[in-house]
């Protein structure tokens, strides 16, 4: 025979202070765990969303990032003429070379604080290759000028990056912001796009490019295109499907965030379980006579054990739900941090998924069960006579 659940619910309301303290402790753990996993998911989404399955990105063989790569100008034409590359209505290949560099700018509102932003030198084909990129304010930068457009993720976050303002691309080389663009939440939104020749001359890149991006006739055309590039050993280039490349770029940062969040949550969870254990031991001590009465009425040790485990589980569930709901509020927060692959500052958002929220709440429930197990065993082992005497 099981003890009525209403008995456990009433006992939680009687001990309001300890119930609230324990639930909040577990809720804090769930909040930290859920938030860190949401941020890691947001990092992956931000970086991986740069990629499209019908686009290929080409780097110098052995290069891990665009900044470490260099492609000669005479090679770009060969890549654009490769089989599988899409042609526009005008017959031109839909592809573009980019020059990628990092520049240090002063953060707005944080005197003396400098951070890195990624400067991408692009051609007039850049937006044709990446149709997800579109202007939301201002106008396009004129080719061959010192005009730039900035992603909405860094707009105004650095000195000189608001529409109409100017900043130095390099010392004594000012550029003016004439437009702001969005890119479907991808990391492009944390970049500055300038004319490719402006970037080349400012940073001494000659006629070389960091990478070449081409749009393919279809995702299936990638294999043929890749075989063409890899089979020509003289080119010394390596192609990537865009999603594969950007997923690799996200690995280091997302792993760091996940490990850091889980580590913090682990230490918090130890404290929460100890708190739950203390709470339940206190409940057992206060209710020794009640336990004795229950045992005298014929309730078995197993029934008492399950009863106290149920209470600790309810505590954990309440805390888990509170922590999960609180973590949902982080979706309104924008978070900037360094991308370990490119050493640029990127703006991320917290991305909740049902799996993350449910998993965090389940983790909170497990903490409650673990924290309440030994007190429940202690309660079930009390002698009815001794408990009633106490």
Q: What is the per-residue pLDDT across 70-81, written as a single tens digit (0 to 9) for each?
A: 999 889 999 999
Average pLDDT along the chain: 82
- Given this model, what pLDDT does residue 246 score? 81
Taking CA atoms, 177 is separated from 138, 153, 174, 233, in Å, by: 9, 14, 10, 41
User: Which of 22-36, 42-56, 125-139, 249-263 is predicted least confidently?
Assistant: 249-263
Whether pLDDT at 121 is above 90 = yes
- Given this model, what pLDDT does residue 110 score? 74
What is the mean pLDDT of the segment spanning 3-11? 68
What is the mean pLDDT of the segment spanning 76-105? 92
> Alpha-carbon distance 261 to 59, whole Å?
33
Q: Name the residue with tokens 């700018």.
A: 105
- Given this model, what pLDDT does residue 283 score? 64
Banded model confidence at residue 340, pLDDT cuts 50, 70, 90:
low
Whether pLDDT at 385 is above 90 = no
- Given this model, what pLDDT does residue 131 score? 92
Q: Name the residue with tokens 């590039």.
A: 229
Whether pLDDT at 137 is above 90 = yes
What is the mean pLDDT of the segment spanning 297-314? 77
**% of the chain exceeding 90 in pLDDT:** 32
A 10 A CB-CB count for 32 gives 21
Higher pLDDT pick, 151 / 184: 151
**% of the chain exceeding 70 in pLDDT:** 83
> Alpha-carbon distance 311 to 167, whole Å?
61
The pair of three-digit structure tokens given for residue 261, joined into one six-digit string: 């969040």
What is the mean pLDDT of the segment spanning 284-300? 70
- Given this model, what pLDDT does residue 16 score? 75
- Given this model, what pLDDT does residue 319 score? 84
Cβ density class 69-79: b for 16+ within 10 Å, e for less? bbbeeebbebb
Whether pLDDT at 386 is above 70 = no
> Alpha-carbon distance 231 to 64, whole Å?
20
Banded model confidence at residue 136, pLDDT cuts 50, 70, 90:
very high
Banded model confidence at residue 389, pLDDT cuts 50, 70, 90:
low
- Residues whose CB is less than 8 angstroms from the CB of residue 326 and which lie 6 or more positions away in sequence, other chains included: 27, 31
Whether pLDDT at 337 is above 90 = no
- Our CA dihedral for 122, 123, 127, 133, rounded to 10 degrees, sits at 20
Whether pLDDT at 100 is above 90 = yes
Please indicate, yes or no, whether the overall pTM of this predicted structure exceeds 0.95. no
- Given this model, what pLDDT does residue 135 score? 95
Whether pLDDT at 83 is above 70 = yes
- Given this model, what pLDDT does residue 161 score? 92
- Given this model, what pLDDT does residue 274 score? 74
- Our CA dihedral for 109, 113, 115, 119, rounded to 10 degrees, sits at 60
- Given this model, what pLDDT does residue 94 score? 95
What is the mean pLDDT of the segment spanning 124-146? 93
- Given this model, what pLDDT does residue 210 score? 95
> Alpha-carbon distance 334 to 302, whole Å?
50
Banded model confidence at residue 341, pLDDT cuts 50, 70, 90:
low
Strands 237-241 and 191-195: unpaired
Q: Name the residue with tokens 């020059």.
A: 99
């Amino acid at each position: 025979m099981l003890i009525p659940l209403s008995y456990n619910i009433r006992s939680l309301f009687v001990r309001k202070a300890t119930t609230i303290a324990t639930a909040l402790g577990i809720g804090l753990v769930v909040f930290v765990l859920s938030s860190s996993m949401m941020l890691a998911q947001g990092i992956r989404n931000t970086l991986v969303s740069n990629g499209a399955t019908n686009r290929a990105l080409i780097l110098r063989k052995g290069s891990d990032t665009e900044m470490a790569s260099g492609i000669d100008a005479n090679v770009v034409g060969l890549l654009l003429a490769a089989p599988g590359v899409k042609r526009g209505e005008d017959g031109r290949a839909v592809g573009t070379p980019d020059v990628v560099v990092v520049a240090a700018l002063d953060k707005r509102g944080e005197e003396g604080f400098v951070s890195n932003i990624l400067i991408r030198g692009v051609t007039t084909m850049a937006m044709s290759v990446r149709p997800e990129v579109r202007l939301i304010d201002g106008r396009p930068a004129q080719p061959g000028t010192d005009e730039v457009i900035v992603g909405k993720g860094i707009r105004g976050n650095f000195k000189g990056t608001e529409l109409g303002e100017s900043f130095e691309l390099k010392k004594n080389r000012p550029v003016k912001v004439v437009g702001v663009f969005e890119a479907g939440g991808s990391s492009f939104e944390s970049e500055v796009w300038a004319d490719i020749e402006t970037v080349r001359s400012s940073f001494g890149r000659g006629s070389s490019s960091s990478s070449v991006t081409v749009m393919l006739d279809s995702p299936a055309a990638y294999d043929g295109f890749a075989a063409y590039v890899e089979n020509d050993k003289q080119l010394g280039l390596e192609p990537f499907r865009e999603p594969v490349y950007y997923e690799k770029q996200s690995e280091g940062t997302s792993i760091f965030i996940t490990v850091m969040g889980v580590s913090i949550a682990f230490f918090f969870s130890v404290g929460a379980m100890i708190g739950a254990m203390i709470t339940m031991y206190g409940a057992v001590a206060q209710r020794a006579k009640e336990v004795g009465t229950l045992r005298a009425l014929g309730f078995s040790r197993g029934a008492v054990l399950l009863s106290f485990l149920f209470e600790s589980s309810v505590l954990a569930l309440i805390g888990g739900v509170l922590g999960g709901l609180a973590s949902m509020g982080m979706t309104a927060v924008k978070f900037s941090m360094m991308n370990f692959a490119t050493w640029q500052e990127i703006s991320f958002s917290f991305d909740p998924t049902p799996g993350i929220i449910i998993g965090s709440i389940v983790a909170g429930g497990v903490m409650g069960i673990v924290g309440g197990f030994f007190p429940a065993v202690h309660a079930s082992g009390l002698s009815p006579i001794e408990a009633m005497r106490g």
